[in-house]
Structure formats: C-alpha cells, structure tokens
Structure 1
Amino acid sequence: MSKEKISPNEIKLKNRQLIYQYVRKNNSVSKQDIVVALQLSLPTVTQNLDYLEKQKLIDTSCKIKNTGGRNATAFTYIKNAKMAIGVYSTVNHINAVAVDLSGMVTGVVKEKRRFNLDDDEYLKRIGEAVEEVKKQANILDEDLLGVGIAVPGLVSDDGETVLYGMTLNFTGKTREEIAKHIPYNSRLVHDSYAAGYAEIWNDHRVKNGFYISLSNSVGGSVIINQSIYEGDTQKGGEIGHMLVVPKGGKRCYCGRTGCFDTVCSACMLDQYTDGNLEKFFVLLKEGDKTAAQLWDEYLDYLAIAVYNMRILFDGVIIVGGYVGAYIGDYMEDLCDRVDQYNPFSDSARDYLIQCRYKREATAAGAAIFFIDDFLNSI
C-alpha cells in the first residue's frame, strides 16, 4: 500500500514549525545553527525566519559573538508575542492568570467570591477579572489568543457545555452563559484536565501517567503519549468517584457512598482549620496530634489511589491540586506506603512526583490550550 503524499503546503508548514520550535527550545540561535540541527537548506531556513520575524514572533536585534569574522544574527523567540488568559471559578474564588508562549504566568488576579453562575454580578466579576489581568500583563487585543475557563465539572468535547457539574450544582450551564461578559474567544475546560495539561506541557519527562488533583474535590487526568485522554464520554480520569470504602463510607456529593473524593479531598484536612489548608500543614509540622492523625489516614487512602493508578497506567504519577502544593515534605512517607502494595521491583520513588505548578495550575492550564493551538498553527 502506497503512503499518502504530503502536499508542498504541509511540508512548508512542518518546516516552519520545526524552525520556530527549535528557536523556542534553544532561545538564541544563529541561522547556521538551524541549518545544521534540522538539516534544512539555507533558503528554506531564511524564508521561514523572515516570515516569523514579519509576524513579530522572533527577534533579530541581538548578535552572537564570534572569535573571528562578522558576528552572526541571534534569532530569539518573543515570549509575549501572543498570550492567553485562564480563569478558574471555584466554590470561593475567581482566579484569572495571563500566560505567555513559554507557559509562564505573567499576571494574576485572585478574588474571594462565592460561586454563583445564576448571579449576573458574579458573571460580570469574571469578565472584570479577565480585563484586569489583561491590563496587568499588557496584552493587546490582537495578541490575545483566547480565554480558557476552567470549571469543576465535566465539559463537552467542543468546550461549550457543562455535562456534569454536581460539585457546585451547575450541570447544563453553557460557555455562552458563563462567558457572558468576556468579549473574546473562549472555551470551557474541565479543571482536572487543565491542571494535568499544565503539568505535562513542555515537560518531556512525562510521556504516560496520571495526574491526581487533590483540591476541594478530587479529580484526575489520564496522560497518554503526552496528551490528555478524555475517554469516550469525557469522563476519563474521574478518580474522585472510584470506590475505595465499600461499606460504611461517607456520602459523596454525587449521592453515593465510599467515593475516593470523600476521603482525599482537601476538605478532609482543612475542615480542622476552618478551611485554611496552609494552617493545617503548619500545625502538622508543629506536631499537632489531631492534624497528624488526619494526615496519617489521608496518606493511607492516597497511597491506595497512587498504587491503583500506577498498576493501570504504568507511568508517572503526579500529585497535584491544593494538597499537592504542600506535599513535598511528605513524599518519602507516601512512597513508602505505596511500595507496601507493589508486587513488582520498581519503587514509587522512580515514578511518583510532586506537581511543578504549586499555584494557579488549573487557570494556567486552561490558557495553555490556546497557546498550544496557536503553536500548532504557525
């Protein structure tokens, strides 16, 4: 069977993306560096660099110093040439962040506001947060790729509708309703997918695995070949509703009992400190007996979940969410507990890691979906 031929336009686009990604990865390179590294002709490299410069995606104002002869032009990519905004609406906060082409958060707006999508003032506040972070990051209208809106619920594949929003009772809400006061291109994103995507984007250490989001509710992201696997009906990774207490478990917000969410949400810890998770970990470090008891039970359940995800996916397991931001000092303990279940020779220390994004991972991930789409379309 003959292979389908690649059109000249497809080859041209692929070469342009290769060149741009090489500049992004290496930050400052000469034209000859690109020719040698990518094995492309000088005219092809020159033509594409000219295009990228005209699009204001790369800078040519610097020189690479040589020991002899003329200094070569240094091609560097402009991180803020295009930007995206991510919003995360939680039960008590509205978070908005600006993200540049490197995935770096360059602006943050966070406000305590009770979740209520039926209140137009609340929706206005989401729109105002977007404008504030846009101004903070100096984003021009023509440079804004879009606004990703992360929500604690399952979202349709086209990013238009909340399929399951039992956590905060907003099933059926649409992007049009939620983004009523956002005058830019936007889409809805499942919060766990957004956080997982932020973790793996541009991090080639993680090819396959699972991201566990331990926040006010528990969720997850299945990672296959550096992409988020959503499943046939967008329920992939819904670890929060995995049954872990077969009998006598607490009632979950889904209406059933014994779900993983009932034993490993952040609320199981910060209920002891009136909703202040940071204070809980301060008390834990100080040796508070009640905090230590709650944490010991929490780690036992978490270890079971980590072990199960490892058995299922045989990849890196990332511990993230609100609790993941504080778990660094306790990773060794967690690894030991996971290893008690493992019948194989590998150790949890080889595959269990703390999240890179300690703050604003979900909002950043919602924005990165737009960054990724742009980079794939250059």
Structure 2
Amino acid sequence: MTSPKVAPHLLVGVGGGIAAYKICDVISTQVKAGWSVSAILSETAAHFVTPLTLSTLCRRSVLTDADFWHPQAPRPLHIELAETATLLLIAPLTANTLAKLAYGLADTLLTSTVLASNMPILVAPAMNTRMWEQPTVQAHWQQLQQQPRYHCLPPTHGRLACDSVGMGRMAETSEIIAYLDSLAHTHGQRDLSGKHLLITAGGTREYLDAVRFIGNPATGKMGLALARAAVHRGARVTLVHGILSEPVPPQVTAIAAETSEQLQAAVMQVWPTADWLVMAAAVGDVRPATQYAGKLPKAQLPTALPLATIPDILTMAAQGRQPHQRLIGFAAQTGDIEPAARAKLAHKGLDLMVANAVDQPGCGFGTQENAALVLGSDGRSHRLARMPKLILAHHIFDLAQAWLT
C-alpha cells in the first residue's frame, strides 16, 4: 500500500442528532488538509446544523433529499456521488440509519448512495444510552460490523446532551479524523486482520523515592499512532504503556505500566498470545540501585547515585519466541543513527528495527511528526521522510507486511 497521490474525495452523511455540530470540525480539518469534501444533510440533521454552515466549510453546496428527487439532474445523483467520492463518513449515525444500513434499505439520498458504491464507509453512532442498549440496535450494530466495507467507531461513555451519563457519545472528532486519514492510506483494506499485536508506548519512571525518579521525555505519541493504525487495519491490539500525553484510542486493550519492571511483567504475560511485538516504548536503561520508601528529606539525598541495569525486554521476548512471532524494535538515536540501530537489530534478535533521530528538528519525543530508517534482519533498509506519526506508522506496517510475511 502507498499513500494516495490524489487527495481523497470525502462524502459526509450527517445524521439527525445534537452531535451533528461536531462534524463541522471534521469537515474543516480535512478541507484544510487538501481533501475535497461533499456533504449530504438529512432532513432531521438540518434542525441541528444549517446547510449554510456546511456548504461554507465544504466550499460547495450541501445536498439534501430534495436534490435527490430533482428532475433536471443529468445523471442520477446517488450514482454520481457513488462514482466520484472515495470515502464515505456517516456521523452521527442514528439508530434509524443504522437499521437501514443493516438491512440494505435505500429510501434516501444517503442510503441509496451507500448501495450504489463500493467505497469504504466509516460510521460513528451517537444516541441516548437507552437507545444504544436496545437489543435491536445492538443486533444492527453487530450486523454492520460483519460487512467488510464498514469501519465502525463505537460511541464512548460520558455525559450526553440529555444529561444522562452512559454509552452513546459520538467518538471524538480527533479519532474520526485519524480513522479517515488511515482509510485514505489503506483504501479500507484490513491486512492485519486476524493478528494480535502487542504494542508498547510511552516512557517509564524509575523511582529513587516516592516523588523522585529517573525518566525520559517520551510522550507515547508514536506508540499510540502504531496502535491506532493497527486497529484501523483490522488487528487486535494490546497496548502496554508507560506515561502518555494522550488518551488510549478506542478498541485498544490498554495495560498501564509506570516502571520498567511493571512494563516487563505485562509484556511477558501477553507476549505468548501475540503475533507481533512492536516495542515503541522508551524503557529506561538504568534504575537507582536502592529505592527508598516515602520522600527522602533533601539533606538525606545521596550525593552519588548507584545505578542498576534494567534487563532488555526485547531480548527476553526474542529468547522465548515462537516460529510465527515477529519482533519490531525502535531505537531513538542521535548523530549517525544507522550503525547503532543495525547493532541493536542483530544483538536483540529482531526482525525489524525502526531508528529515528531524536536530535533532528520536528522529530523524536513529543512531536507530531517523525522520520525513520527501517532496517530488516535480511539486510534491507528503507528511509521514511518526515511525516505525521500516524502515516509513518502505516508505512512501517506496509514494510513489515512486505518483509515479514
């Protein structure tokens, strides 16, 4: 897979619900990123967000069912949309539209376009908790997930517009945007389907006492991007994480591990059931040789700090690996990154090493973008220029799929 050279044409179907206002941020973000965006506004959605608002953001007229039945169109509108759009987002997805999609009904412009197209469809439901929990709604949701072209972002838990607290909030717009970016890269393919990926992220803290520790500036952004990309490609993901600067993506099983010892224990527990281990966490190399209970008074702080070496988790995982398991390591380096990365690749018994230069502007810890040198155990190498970390994650998985399977 490669990223598309032509900007995607996104068609947004806006359902009738208070969450409709959130779709404005999605449209605005993708238009600014160079995407072409069209929108279909349902009759009920127009009560929550106006056609003028969406047409201004899309830079083109918003479509409604009135346009669907217009007699002067040169071609059937739903056919035209199905042939020109490359991605379809339906958000908020209402219980009514969910039922129509599950049963293949086509009585509106939106549902007719769905049936006339083969494009990937991302859906993000939003509704009252009792509505969401109805057995019929859940059955329709399960039906939709069985169809490969549908990519489903489940609602989240929180306070709803009706003041109740529970499941039903539409997924955050940042998650919707990230999923759209993934679909633009993968074209909806789920090439990691059936695989269980164990991914680590974030930095560890090695405590001297209750409040002081040895740490690093890792924020977990790269590991989170890898987890997000893997889920979008169909994988089952377990994320063992240290300190993170962002929430864990939906549909990811998360295990928190603040210290290297905790992270090691979690990894070794999950690893026997995983297919790939992607070690993106910035695990400490050393810890204080002595850990003190409580907070040491400043006057009692040691003037010299004896250190103990932390065992290498990847090396431990490699020693007990099964034939089908694959190991991918990450190396944060400065200067000439290749020699040290190649040495680590061989010494740790890895299949793939991803090296990045943390001393380069705009790359490394805490940044939104990254660049990398990917090295294979068979001697192959590939340089990835600076790009958003989510897209970099997809390129890494592209190479892993090509080189390791």
Q: TM-score range by the shorter chain?
A: under 0.3
TM-score where L is the length of structure 2: 0.26
Structure of higher RCO (CA pairs closer than 8 Å, 6+ residues apart): 1
TM-score where L is the length of structure 1: 0.27
